[in-house]
Structure 1
């Protein structure tokens, strides 16, 4: 399968590129505020300023607070966020913060986007009069998160919890809630907590110094508590003078996730916000009889590697997940399957085992973290001796050149190296290779389908055998007989005989046609 976008992974990959979890400064080499432009009337649609190169600087100068949305009409993610951006503009219309909303269509304003150095879309920039350069917003995907993010930048970023009753109500206000316990709200660590809260607008944040609240939850020192409705006990992070904003954001993003998160459109944002760049994905059918066992095994490993690897479940029975299947090149024949992707390099890894057992998944995770796992590529390198043995070793790079050859009849075994059934058949294939080792037109070959993508062949299972006859058209004949040496030979000889008969008929047809044409010329 060919790679797609992770919205998927390319779907998965555009989301990854657009996602940022910390505030970035000075995205442009030079601030646009240093330039002057002639004032023009700025067009407005539904409370949103339509910004262009000729009025961009003017809009920034005229408005103390301006949120700018860089919109790419051809991007599905950009179209989705546009609806949320418009809703946020409506919600903030009468807000006391007096924040204005503006939009740039980058398909029409390419020069402006280049000048500002806007390289990923969709993008949100927030301008304020007291800052020379704009603040690049983190990945905000809903109107409510946009509004909360803005409000936390222009007002308190955490709710002040005054007593035990208030704390109890607050901690029940959402599925995931964050509460900071600080003995002195003027300490520098509290400001770091506030800054972290600004960049996590999708979760409610509270802060308290009340001793009764401290005692109620057994807190003795400066601590950040994360409460989840699904968990009996909260997650705690002890704050020190060495704690950074990044530390707090990572603590929240890692612990807000379930041990295994099911991939959906709604959860995709949180998956990439988790700040864990190594993701292990389980592809299997939720309605399968053995799903419970498979999921429990996967979840057990998720607990062991929490914080190092983020575990995600992808339901293969969900049609809307098709794009992520394509991104990871996963087929029905592969499932249940486990993959790992390193988001820092976009390199994928495939578990080298059929069974999703605790031991197999654990070894896969350990091999990956230890640098021993083998990356999954579209093609392995062509072995130097690939054609020096009775059974030729094909890879993605030389498959079509060998298989679709009008001078060779090629019988190919598509295998998975860890499959016990495949391993049992290798000796038989070697014997078959020796039978045809010196045949002038027959080639016996094999290819590891788990390490090489062959786009022209649809595989239903492992192992699979197919015959590629020596014709001028790309023809594929599936093998569906017994997997014995005698049956293989009988099948190949039958195909050779049929091919010879076809060629003789074709020759007779050509000769007959030539004879008819010659007769017409004589007449």
Structure 2
């Protein structure tokens, strides 16, 4: 109960009503990318399905017993909209049984925390493009997930309770190389820590930066947050490196808070010798 309360408080602090409204406006917008000819991958047996899921950071699979239901055409319409999601489809009874599907389902698989999230029963029967888009957008978590009002819901619904945030301007000349190193570090903590990017160049993200008592002049910076007890720490860094990320994460996991050390130094009166 307390964990749920902490999550809600944190979400309410970071998000504004206007941003949530923007989410509703964005969901359902068609992509400009011409992928009309793209089709989901047919998964004809269990090994093929397992290989397909293992090869993608986010995979969405339509498990259908009947290809004539309306959900099938809605599912197909998603393929051309989400370029960074792998789409598969299967009607094979052994495949459905392997993934504990008893009827028809649209399921999302995440590599980052090995989650399988299912839309089943009435949810599938009444699905439309807007509802399916929202399901995919909220629950698509990657090795590094960019923070926005949609993804934050999926982040806090994950079973992984520790989140690492890189606060950096995406327009920075160092961004591409920094992101490459950040993704390398993310692979080391897969299943333990969710890695998040917060674009400090976006005005609305200022609330996130200030939550961790950081100023834009201190960026780029790392911030780590544990949803269970709201414990957190922050570290301004001159350069994003795998070593810096590892040291910061390991220190937090071992209970060493740089923030507390810094605050203690500020409170300790200076004594003249």
Q: TM-score range by the shorter chain?
A: 0.5 to 0.7
Aligned partner (choices 101, 116, 119) of residue 190 of structure 1: 101
Equivalent residue for 2:64? Answer: 160
Q: Deviations over 1:318-337 (max 9, x none)?
A: 11111111111121221110
Equivalent residue for 1:270? Answer: 154
Mapped contact 2:144–2:186 kept (Cα < 8 A): yes
Aligned partner (choices 228, 236, 249) of residue 344 of structure 1: 228
Cα distance, 1:387 vs. partner? 3.9
Is 1:296 aligned to residue 180 of structure 2?
A: yes
Cα distance, 1:298 vs. partner? 0.9
- 2:232 and 2:8 mapped to 1: Cα distance? 14
Equivalent residue for 2:116? Answer: 248
Mapped contact 2:221–2:235 kept (Cα < 8 A): yes
In structure 2, relative to structure 1, the CA distance for the partners of 1:332 and 1:10 (3 Å cut) is: farther
- 1:284 and 1:188 mapped to 2: Cα distance? 39
Equivalent residue for 2:192? Answer: 308
Q: Deviations over 1:126-167 (max 9, x none)?
A: xxxxxxxxxxxxxxxxxxxxxxxxxxxxxxxx762457xx99
SS of corresponding position for 1:351: strand
In structure 2, relative to structure 1, the CA distance for the partners of 1:361 and 1:383 (3 Å cut) is: closer
Mapped contact 1:301–1:361 kept (Cα < 8 A): yes
Q: Deviations over 1:399-452 (max 9, x none)?
A: xxxxxxxxxxxxxxxxxxxxxxxxxxxxxxxxxxxxxxxxxxxxxxxxxxxxxx
Mapped contact 1:349–1:373 kept (Cα < 8 A): no
Is 1:260 aligned to residue 144 of structure 2?
A: yes
Aligned partner (choices 48, 62, 78) of residue 173 of structure 1: 78
- 1:367 and 1:259 mapped to 2: Cα distance? 21
Alignment of 1:133-148 (within 5 A): none
Is 1:319 aligned to residue 230 of structure 2?
A: no
- 1:77 and 1:384 mapped to 2: Cα distance? 38
Mapped contact 2:185–2:245 kept (Cα < 8 A): yes
Mark the runs of 5 or more structure 2 residues left unpaired by the alignment.
Answer: 1-6, 25-61, 119-134
SS of corresponding position for 1:183: helix
Is 1:376 aligned to residue 266 of structure 2?
A: no
Cα distance, 1:338 vs. partner? 0.6
Q: Which deviates further from its counterpart, 274-283 or 182-191?
A: 182-191
- 2:182 and 2:99 mapped to 1: Cα distance? 41
- 1:256 and 1:360 mapped to 2: Cα distance? 27
SS of corresponding position for 1:294: helix
Mapped contact 1:261–1:311 kept (Cα < 8 A): yes
Mapped contact 1:294–1:357 kept (Cα < 8 A): yes
Q: Deviations over 1:341-375 (max 9, x none)?
A: 11111111123754321111122222223x14316
Mark the runs of 5 or more structure 1 residues left unpaired by the alignment.
Answer: 1-8, 17-74, 85-157, 198-203, 207-224, 228-233, 238-246, 391-523
Mapped contact 2:218–2:236 kept (Cα < 8 A): no
SS of corresponding position for 2:269: coil
Q: Deviations over 1:451-488 (max 9, x none)?
A: xxxxxxxxxxxxxxxxxxxxxxxxxxxxxxxxxxxxxx
Equivalent residue for 1:70? Answer: none
Equivalent residue for 1:124? Answer: none
SS of corresponding position for 2:150: helix
Alignment of 1:331-480 (within 5 A): 331-351=215-235, 353-369=237-253, 371-374=254-257, 376-377=259-260, 380-381=263-264, 386-390=269-273
SS of corresponding position for 1:190: coil
- 1:79 and 1:286 mapped to 2: Cα distance? 20
Mapped contact 1:347–1:375 kept (Cα < 8 A): no
Between the two proteins, the alignment pairs up a number of residues equal to 203
Equivalent residue for 1:442? Answer: none
SS of corresponding position for 1:173: helix
- 2:170 and 2:270 mapped to 1: Cα distance? 43
| Higher helix proportion | 2
Cα RMSD after superposing both structures: 4.8
In structure 2, relative to structure 1, the CA distance for the partners of 1:77 and 1:360 (3 Å cut) is: same
In structure 2, relative to structure 1, the CA distance for the partners of 1:373 and 1:249 (3 Å cut) is: farther
Alignment of 1:219-234 (within 5 A): 226=109
In structure 2, relative to structure 1, the CA distance for the partners of 1:159 and 1:262 (3 Å cut) is: same
Mapped contact 1:12–1:327 kept (Cα < 8 A): no
In structure 2, relative to structure 1, the CA distance for the partners of 1:294 and 1:179 (3 Å cut) is: same
SS of corresponding position for 2:195: strand
> Quick one: higher RCO (CA 8 Å, sep 6+), 1 or 2?
2
